Amino acid sequence: MQIGFWAFGTAVVCFAITAAIGRFLVPFLHKLHFGQTILDIGPSWHKNKQGTPTMGGFMFIIGIVITTTAGVLLHSINNGFGTVEKFVFVGLCFALCNGAIGFFDDYVKVAKKRNLGLTAWQKLILQFAVAGLYLFVMHLCGDTTEIAVPFSSTGLVDLGFFYYILMALVLVGMNNAVNLTDGVDGLDGSITFFVALFLMLIANVVGYEANVIFAASVAGGCLGFLVWNFHPAKCFMGDTGSLFLGGIVCALAFVMDMQLLLILIGIMYLVEMFSVMLQVGYFKLTKGKRLFKMSPIHHHFEMSGWSEMKIVCVFSLVTAIAGAGALLLVIFG
């Protein structure tokens, strides 16, 4: 009951802080002319979004950092500051580092008035460096090379040295998958809200109370941002926000050694990422033919006549169903 109170309070406060920041941040970004540049190859109607302020992710970054820090520290006064609390703060720092990469990317786009910031290789090198540092610090804080596997005899499988290679790929891959999901008003924020919500419920089931507070803060921050990002968007999160969220999603799962659950609970992120990979591969193999009308796949549905609202609703519903499945796996696995 007590952790439910802390989680609800953290979510509400984070929502309020994030939404309130928007009242000042959006006009400020307008004043700086930090507007989004829209690709010519995108849907033609997206040109109406040209100049919409980007880097709005700072809203929920500030809200999540404040409420997670305050919530976990206040909760630890009566419950102690242990390994899980350490993992939460290391995960928060990991997300901030990824957000910093996104900020540099956004700044290059804004400064040069183009939709391409850092090169793919520059991003990957920075992301793998941050992922490696995260895994190293987690090891120093007591993390093991085990991951939770539902229905296994012990519930855990030790991957040994290969853990670090595989997990670095998971961290970078999922981070970019979340980044690719940001392309329709309210989509990334809505999906991540449900991901955080079900990771919060899972953390409660397994007794990771600090992670419950962490996830509740993320859910509240996403809702607060949607006040400004829901269609028609008054502000975009930019890579600053989407890469931060990618780091957050990974951190929430890694705290509990439940990396495998990201396959299920993060299904829509993965669908977005693999749609891009399939599109590129098919284009090269067929010398110019396209598998989808456009990728990531949310643009394919746009080009097929779906409204942005319908895409957000359907993708969020799939995420919620997958999240419920992940929760049941934890309860009965």
Answer whether residue 184 is part of any domain.
yes
Mean pLDDT to the nearest integer, 180-198: 96
For residue 114, pLDDT over 70 is answered with no
Nearest CA-CA partner of 245 in 50, 59, 6, 16: 59
Answer whether residue 303 is part of any domain.
no
Answer whether residue 227 is part of any domain.
yes
For residue 198, pLDDT over 60 is answered with yes
Look at 31-40, 67-76, 92-101 and tell me which has the smallest mean pLDDT. Answer: 31-40
Q: Per the structure, how many domains does the chain have?
A: 1
Answer whether residue 319 is part of any domain.
no
Torsion angles phi and psi, residue 263, rounded to 5: -65, -40
Please provide the average confidence, as pLDDT, over all residues in the chain.
91
Model pTM score: 0.94
3-state secondary structure of 33: coil
Nearest CA-CA partner of 188 in 211, 216, 218: 218
Answer whether residue 275 is part of any domain.
no
Answer whether residue 165 is part of any domain.
yes
pLDDT of residue 135: 98
pLDDT band at residue 125 under the 50/70/90 scheme? very high
- The boundaries of the domain holding residue 189 are 2-262
For residues 243 and 103, the answer to whether their CB atoms sit within 8 Å is no
Answer whether residue 11 is part of any domain.
yes
Answer whether residue 325 is part of any domain.
no
